Structure 1
Amino acid sequence: MAAEASSSVPALATSPLTEEELTLTVKWSGKEYTVRVCGSDTVGELKRRICEVTNVLPKRQKLLYPKVGSKLADDCLLLSQIPIKTSLKMTMIGTVEDEIFVDQVDSPEIVDDFEIGQEEAVDIKDKEVNKQKLRRRIEQYKITLRNPCREGKKLLVLDIDYTLFDHRSTAENPLELMRPYLHEFLSAVYAEYDIIIWSATSMKWVELKMGQLGVLSNPNYKITAMLDHLAMITVQSDSHGIIDCKPLGLIWAKFPEFYSPKNTIMFDDLRRNFVMNPQNGLTIKPFRKAHANRGTDRELMKLTQYLLAIADLDDISVLNHKDWESYNEDNVKRRRHT
């Protein structure tokens, strides 16, 4: 399995960068911090790197740099479009905050999700500039294991917001916003899959959500690891511009003896998050308006059947996960005739 995984993940040491890296100095709160970026990175990516060293969330940062005006307020702007020089120092204004459970409500909601065509997705995945970004992320991001990887198990990577939890509705108790059958789902699939949580929010927020929902303390399953927004990368789409995504190659490079494209599946309510690994993503129906839909939502029950049905396959990346409901129906029919 390790050999298979290595052919799917960009090499760390042997692939030279085709663009020069910038080492920037950021002044904040009386100290200086160093961050590494490239011209193909966005302002939003720069803010992620600054967050790594200062713990100031990107949405709380205001960047000041000589003669660029308001350009650093546009998170989608490429750094190559801004006359930034390594020798100059940038100032950041921002405050570290202890996040509370309702804090993320003021984050922008993505409602215009889109599907990138297969041909363009392959082009994005294979572009050298995006492979470089993935290599840098592999070098920079540390995945802390909460529980050991298990030999012979497949890998399930799960988003949080709108996948496991309705983060926009309000409630006195967060359990009221949890997707129905969450613990039953995780308990059942844990028999065949290691489970990694990957959210586009900060790690404090991930730990808080999973802790309050009882995911980190449930005796019937264990979470292998949790990833946050700092593990994501930005890529350029010809049809949709700059987008953030979750490259599974990061996980495959960190644990090649356990996980590869052949044994990994990822659930997310946003299709764009799969753009670097389109064959491994399943778009889950968003769980919104929890109070109205809690009594009728059966998505996790049905997906449990699918995950267990494909668990014995040697290569689940050959499946079209868009057809997962049809796959369930076909299995039911076959069982009826046997």
Structure 2
Amino acid sequence: MASTASTSSVPEEELTLMVKWSGKEYTVRVCGDDTVGELKRRICELTNVLPLRQKLLYPKVGSKLTDDSLLLSQLPLKSSIKMTMIGTTEEDLIVDPVDSPEIIDDFELGQEEAVDIKDKEVNKQKLKRRINNYKIVLKTPCRKGKKLLVLDIDYTLFDHRSTAENPLELMRPYLHEFLTSVYSEYDIMIWSATSMKWIDLKMGQLGVLDNPNYKITALLDHLAMITVQSSSRGVFDCKPLGLIWAQFPEFYNASNTIMFDDLRRNFVMNPQNGLIIKPFRKAHANRESDRELVKLTQYLLAIAELDDLSNLDHSSWEFFTEENAKRLRHT
């Protein structure tokens, strides 16, 4: 029979930490299989201090709290310990996230390793916790019978590293035409590995949030991501579509969802649903020649009539034709 002690009702791997910041104490619940980066993400949920702005102080671990990939189980942490956080919120420090590390060296995991990550129980538990902790706020209602398109921002819709007096100069060509066309068949969600304030600001500047020709169903930020670990590539963040499917099961699932991103690692929990989009960099030089969204519009509309998208090989999307769609509809 389980003990009635107050600590016994909490799983052994679960930790309740106290974080002191700006004269207040915050209770943060994490697990041993979470990383330091995940801890910072939880702190961000409570304080609005972005992970990259946080400096965590706890004398017993020294500088180890600067390594976001380190598992908390590798640190001498126990429930009820108190640590101090130093950091500034975005309200007090409005900056573009260009000073965050840029990920250019994308990688492709081997088939077996990708399946292993997707099916690992520890990652399923992380997804379950994320589903419980992160609530997607709808900007417009989900539409019955529509498929779901999930879009990244940086280098997918917008060149966030180049400079310009007007953000519209950095917008990917044909963005509004693309969103207008696919909206007839797809609900559209935007998921960026940045903060919600940044997403709101940039999408507002580009005229995406109030366009009369299409609607954005929801915005998701970095707090919706989870951290996973691979034997060959170490620890990294990804975007689990299961979070969306769990919160809107009557509308979206693995058979009717497609996600565009310039980093394939973001698909690791849902490799069959991801399409690698060519990155849009050096906007000033490439603005006249980039037609990626024009070609992708044709692809999305061609596959929209299929009942199940999960059998498609999105890596071959450029070779897909209307004839392929007709053939698949009749098989």
Which TM-score tier does this pair reach, normalised by the shorter chain? Answer: over 0.9
Q: Give, as a single letter, the amino acid of the residue that structure 1 aligns with 2:23.
A: G
1:83 to 73, 76, 79: 76
Distance change (3 Å), C-alpha of 1:301 and 1:101: farther
Q: Say if 2:303 and 2:325, in contact at 8 Å, map to a contact too.
A: no
Q: Say if 1:134 and 1:250, in contact at 8 Å, map to a contact too.
A: yes
What residue number does 2:196 align with? 203
What residue number does 2:283 align with? 290
Structure 1 distance, partners of 2:160, 2:321, is 29
Distance change (3 Å), C-alpha of 1:241 and 1:297: same
- Residue 34 in 1 paired to residue 27 in 2? yes
- Residue 214 in 1 paired to residue 189 in 2? no
Q: What's the CA shift for 1:333?
A: 12
Unaligned runs of 5+ in 1: 1-16
Distance change (3 Å), C-alpha of 1:33 and 1:211: same
Q: Say if 1:264 and 1:280, in contact at 8 Å, map to a contact too.
A: yes
Q: Give, as a single letter, the amino acid of the residue that structure 2 aligns with 1:62.
A: K
Question: Percent same amino acid at aligned positions?
Answer: 82
Q: Report the secondary structure of 1:258's partner residue.
A: coil
- Residue 277 in 1 paired to residue 249 in 2? no
Tell which deviates more after alignment, 38-47 or 186-195: 38-47
Q: What's the CA shift for 1:36?
A: 1.2
- Residue 48 in 1 paired to residue 72 in 2? no
Q: What's the CA shift for 1:203?
A: 0.2
Structure 2 distance, partners of 1:253, 1:88, is 33
Q: What per-residue deviation string (whole Å, max 9, x for no partner) do you get for residues 231-251 of structure 1?
A: 000001111000100000000
Q: Give, as a single letter, the amino acid of the residue that structure 2 aligns with 1:289.
A: K
Distance change (3 Å), C-alpha of 1:248 and 1:19: farther
2:126 to 118, 123, 133: 133
1:304 to 297, 307, 310: 297
Structure 2 distance, partners of 1:52, 1:101, is 18
Structure 1 distance, partners of 2:315, 2:93, is 36
What residue number does 1:73 align with? 66
Tell which deviates more after alignment, 127-136 or 81-90: 81-90
Tell which deviates more after alignment, 218-227 or 36-45: 36-45
What residue number does 2:242 align with? 249
2:115 to 116, 122, 126: 122
Distance change (3 Å), C-alpha of 1:240 and 1:90: same
Q: What's the CA shift for 1:330?
A: 5.8
Distance change (3 Å), C-alpha of 1:18 and 1:314: farther
Q: Report the secondary structure of 1:68's partner residue.
A: helix
Q: Report the secondary structure of 2:319's partner residue.
A: helix
Q: What per-residue deviation string (whole Å, max 9, x for no partner) do you get for residues 23-66 of structure 1?
A: 11101111110111111111111000000000011111100113
Q: Give, as a single letter, the amino acid of the residue that structure 1 aligns with 2:314.
A: H
What residue number does 1:13 align with? none
Q: Report the secondary structure of 2:124's partner residue.
A: helix
Q: What's the CA shift for 1:98?
A: 3.0
Q: Give, as a single letter, the amino acid of the residue that structure 2 aligns with 1:205.
A: W
Distance change (3 Å), C-alpha of 1:333 and 1:122: closer
TM-score normalised per structure 2? 0.93
Structure 2 distance, partners of 1:294, 1:66, is 50
Structure 2 distance, partners of 1:18, 1:321, is 41
Structure 2 distance, partners of 1:206, 1:99, is 17
Q: Report the secondary structure of 2:39's partner residue.
A: helix
Structure 1 distance, partners of 2:262, 2:102, is 12
Distance change (3 Å), C-alpha of 1:332 and 1:27: closer
Structure 2 distance, partners of 1:280, 1:43, is 28
What residue number does 1:64 align with? 57
Structure 2 distance, partners of 1:270, 1:82, is 30
Q: Say if 2:302 and 2:322, in contact at 8 Å, map to a contact too.
A: no
Tell which deviates more after alignment, 250-259 or 106-115: 106-115
What residue number does 1:8 align with? none
Q: Report the secondary structure of 1:49's partner residue.
A: helix
Distance change (3 Å), C-alpha of 1:87 and 1:101: closer
What residue number does 1:11 align with? none
- The number of residues matched between the two structures is 318
1:107 to 100, 115, 122: 100
TM-score normalised per structure 1? 0.91
Tell me: higher relative CO, structure 1 or 2? Use CA pairs within 8 A at least 6 residues apart.
1
Structure 1 distance, partners of 2:67, 2:325, is 50
Distance change (3 Å), C-alpha of 1:329 and 1:295: farther
Distance change (3 Å), C-alpha of 1:99 and 1:184: farther
Distance change (3 Å), C-alpha of 1:270 and 1:19: farther
Structure 1 distance, partners of 2:154, 2:257, is 20
Q: What per-residue deviation string (whole Å, max 9, x for no partner) do you get for residues 251-288 of structure 1?
A: 00000000000000000000000000000000000000
Tell which deviates more after alignment, 258-267 or 114-123: 114-123
Q: Give, as a single letter, the amino acid of the residue that structure 1 aligns with 2:281.
A: R
What residue number does 1:4 align with? none
